Amino acid sequence: MSQGNLFTALRRAFPADLDQVAVETADTATPLHYTWRDLERGTAMMANLLESLSLPPLSRVAVQVDKSVEALMLYLAVLRAGHVYLPLNNAYQAAEVEYFIGDAEPAVFVCAGRHFGWVSTLAFRLGTRNVFTLDDDRSGSLLARAAYHADVHEPARRRSDEIAAIVYTSGTTGRSKGAMLTHGNLLSNARVLKDAWGWIPGDVLIHALPIFHVHGLFVALHGALLNASRMIWFGRFEPKAVIARLPEASVFMGVPTLYVRMLAEASLTRGACRHMRIFISGSAPLLLDTFAQWQQRTGHTLLERYGMSETVMLTSNPYSPASGRRGGTVGFALPGVGLRVHDELEQPLPAGEIGGIQVRGPNVFSGYWRMPEKTAAEFTEDGWFRTGDVGRIDADGYVTIVGRSKDLVISGGYNVYPAEIEGYLNEMPGVAESAVIGVPHPDFGEGVVAVVVPRPGAAPDAQALIASLKCRIASFKVPKSLFVVPELPRNAMGKVQKNLLREQHKTLFTRA
Ligand code: MLC
Ligand code: AMP
């Protein structure tokens, strides 16, 4: 069996001198320095711990923890042991986590210590036998147990077409789907991005994104690891603190909200950015205004790229020269990625015309976990994946995203699926039906808004509905505003006209 394990490829890129600093924490009580040797040994001990559990091959290891360097090591250790990493947003509450455990049937769950009570109850009930804790202060049963294991470990042999990670992404209807990404998907994309973004020896990455989604976990992390680059590691994004570290760094990746928040700081100057080589934006549309302001204030041209959980990265603006980075576009299809635009009858459209974006390439996932029908439905007969994004390709190859055919709100880089929130609202006392939309928001790009119709004779209170949602679902999904109305606008077919609601509320968050 050939060795296609992503971990092996990443480890091969470690520098010859393993005693160099690989990761430096920026927001712990005192800065901590982790060398490449620490990563090598820590991941070996955790991988040995996983092996000692005698799990079946390709067991899922679900992880819902606060960001820490040990959490990074855990991700690498799962790859190293040849199991399947399943990251979960740490804002998810019990009902959300219950679904993921039931669906993915992880053999291991690693949670924050404060959540051990409810997580272990759920996990044991659903058949997960191993629950460990890991906190961002280097405590927890995972590390305590790993400490008893050897610090050398031979990485499991994996084929490049075997699954390395499952990333859940909600569907427009129904429950979340687990996108299965293989070692080969992740490695091929990481290698393409290393070239595309001109990583050079000596680059230093500021890592300030969460590591439970594609952007922070794969794009940023793999980039730095494959380039043997030091990382300045933020547990959470804090604009002033990040700007203060820019002079020591050369690469930064963020969702647009991060750039908007940094622009609000007076300390963001050309001087602060003088050693930076590149700022990359993605996960949500970057406003032209943010692109222009960033250029004016820092002298740097933001490089916007486009991707998704199912495909990792698909397009990127050119690295060089910076004048080729065109604001409002997501650049060109990356080498090896096929990208086409089609109409509703699946006919390819000529340059400049707007339609659905379809893609293919070595980066495209191998399907949704245990959902062969949904997988089949998302691919065309000739094997292209339907992204659900709507856009155009200009005559010179630049791709522009103009919207989405999927009913999805992207708030601060997090995806919120209206159907899911509507499902929760519709079950609440006094609610007959609801519609959830996204409207422009100055900080989050889009802000979630709910419009609710009461049952006859009922008078649900907007604040009470919001409070009730907060007890059940991740707070970033909770509508920032909720309106109770007599009825929803519908078209002749009876379909709710969300475009009218979006129009009606379009200045809700921006008019101040
Ligand atoms: C936090 N809140 C949000 C929110 N983030 N509300 C809407 N949208 C968001 N994105 C809410 C919280 O629920 C809370 O509400 C309040 O804001 C404060 O929470 P916080 O934790 O203190 O927020 P903060 O740390 O300021 O977080 C904001 C943020 C974060 C922008 C730093 O959202 C973030 O890191 N976003 C990046 C997401 C990301 O990595 N996406 C990549 C996906 S991969 P309350 O009511 O409780 O006070 C992908 C593919 C690709 O899309 O192409 O990359
Ligand atoms: P996710 O499912 O979390 O991976 O989100 C992927 C979605 O984010 C894509 O399908 C797009 O809708 C959106 N997205 C990612 N990058 C960009 C970008 N640069 N511009 C616009 N939308 C983007």
- The tens digit of pLDDT for each residue in 255-280 reads 999 999 999 999 999 999 999 999 99
- Alpha helices, DSSP H only, in 91-216? 94-104, 116-125, 141-146, 183-196, 214
The residues pairing with 21 across neighbouring beta strands, listed in sequence order, are 35
State the amino acid at position 246 in one-letter form: L
**For residue 417, what pLDDT is reported?**
95
Q: Is residue 251 part of a domain?
A: no
- Check if 466 has its Cβ closer than 6 Å to any atom of ligand 1: no
Answer yes or no: is 264 within a domain.
no
Which of 346, 371, 404 corresponds to the end of one domain?
404
Do residues 420 and 335 both lie within one domain?
Answer: no
Decide if 284 is inside a domain.
no
Reported as a single tens digit per residue, the pLDDT across 431-455 is 999 999 999 999 999 999 999 999 9
Q: Whose CA is nearest to atom 20 of ligand 2?
A: 285
Write out pLDDT tens, residues 186-213: 999 999 999 999 999 999 999 999 999 9
Atom from ligand 2 closest to the CA of residue 404 = 12
Ligand 2 atom 12, closest CA: 389
Atom of ligand 2 nearest to the CA of 388: 10
Is the domain of 353 the same as that of 490?
no
Residues 479 and 361 in one domain: no
- Report the C-alpha dihedral over residues 292, 293, 296, 298, rounded to 10 degrees: -120
Q: Express each pLDDT in 306-328 by its tens digit.
A: 999 999 999 999 999 899 999 99
Question: Among all chains, which residue has been given the structure tokens 């910076």?
Answer: 322
At 2, the pLDDT band (50, 70, 90 cuts) reads low
The answer, yes or no, to whether any atom of ligand 1 lies below 6 A from the CB of 234, is no
Q: Which of 27-31, 207-211, 330-334 has the lowest average pLDDT?
A: 27-31
Q: Identify which of 198, 224, 196, 195 has the alpha carbon closest to the alpha carbon of residue 209.
A: 224
Query: For residue 20, is it within any domain?
Result: yes
Say which ligand is closest to the CA of 509.
1
Which of 136, 167, 255 has most ligand 1 atoms within 8 Å of CB, for mutation? 255
CA atoms within 13 A on the CB side of 80: 27
Q: Is the pLDDT of residue 171 over 90?
A: no
CATH number, domain of 349, equals 2.30.38.10
Same domain, 383 and 444: no
CATH number of the domain residue 48 falls in: 3.40.50.12780
**Domain identity same for 93 and 167:** yes
Structure tokens at 264: 């609000």
Which residue's alpha carbon is nearest to atom 3 within ligand 1?
Answer: 476
> Of the candidates 370, 404, 438, which is a domain's last residue?
404
Q: Is 235 in the pocket of ligand 1 (CB under 6 A)?
A: no
Q: Which residue has the tokens 């992204």?
A: 387
Burial of 35 (0-12, 13-18, 19+ CB in 10 A): middle
Q: In this structure, are residues 249 and 202 in contact, taking their beta carbons and an 8 Å threshold? A: no
Q: Hey, is 185 helix, strand or coil?
A: helix
pLDDT of res. 400:
98
What is the percent of the chain where pLDDT is above 70?
A: 99
255 lines ligand 1 (CB under 6 A): yes
Q: Does 475 sit in the ligand 1 pocket, CB within 6 Å?
A: yes
Question: Average of pLDDT values for 350-376?
Answer: 97
pLDDT band at 172 (very low <50, low <70, confident <90, very high): low
* pLDDT score of 170: 76
- The average pLDDT across 172-196 equals 92
Same domain, 225 and 146: yes
Indicate the pairing of strand 130-133 with strand 163-169: unpaired
Average the pLDDT over each of 2-11, 113-122, 250-259 and give the range with the smallest value.
2-11
Q: Are 370 and 421 in the same domain?
A: no
Ligand 1 proximity of 236 Cβ (cutoff 6 Å): yes
Q: From atom 37 of ligand 1, which residue's Cα is the shortest distance away? A: 413
pLDDT-derived band at 175 (thresholds 50, 70, 90) equals confident
- In-domain check, residue 246: no
Question: Chain centroid to CA 282: how far?
Answer: 10
Q: What is the pTM of this model?
A: 0.97
One domain for residues 137 and 229: yes
Q: Does one domain contain both 42 and 148?
A: yes
Which ligand 1 atom sits nearest the alpha carbon of residue 216? 40
What's the Cα-to-Cα distance from 334 to each of 119, 189, 287, 324, rounded to whole Å? 40, 9, 22, 15
Task: Write out pLDDT tens, residues 288-297.
Answer: 999 999 999 9
Q: Looking at residues 149-176, what average pLDDT do you find?
A: 90
The CATH number given to whatever domain includes residue 452 is 3.30.300.30
Rounded distance between C-alpha atoms, residue 225 and residue 222, angstroms: 5
Single residue among 188, 218, 236 that ends a domain in this structure: 236
The answer to whether residue 472 sits within a structural domain is yes
Residue 400: domain span: 328-404
- Ligand 1 pocket: which of 206, 221, 257 to mutate (most atoms within 8 A of CB): 257
Give residue 262's pLDDT: 98
Return the closest-CA partner of residue 282 out of 209, 336, 387. Answer: 209
One domain for residues 14 and 75: yes
Q: Is the pLDDT of residue 1 over 60?
A: no
Evaluate if residue 136 carries a pLDDT over 60: yes
State residue 174's pLDDT score.
Answer: 62
Q: In whole angstroms, how far apart are CA 249 and each of 197, 209, 274, 275, 495?
A: 15, 15, 10, 7, 51
User: Within this chain, do residues 95 and 167 fall inside the same structural domain, yes or no?
Assistant: yes
Residues 125 and 197 in one domain: yes
**3-class DSSP assignment, residue 88:** coil
No. of helices (H) and no. of strands (E), the chain: 16, 24
Ligand nearest to C-alpha 181: 2
Q: Indicate which residue's Cα is closest to atom 22 of ligand 2.
A: 284
pLDDT value, residue 3: 84
Q: Which of 372-378's residues contact partners 24+ apart within 8 Å by CB, and which partners? A: 374/171, 374/177, 378/310
Q: What is the predicted pLDDT for the residue at 75? A: 99
Percent of the chain whose pLDDT exceeds 90: 96
Is the residue at 144 inside a domain?
yes
Ligand 2 mean position, distance from CA 171 (Å): 14
Distance CA 264, CA 239 (A): 9
Number of domains observed in the structure of the chain: 3
Instruction: Judge contact between 103 and 67, C-beta under 8 A.
Output: no
- Structural domain includes residue 261: no
Is pLDDT above 80 for 173? no
The closest ligand to the CA of 172 turns out to be 2
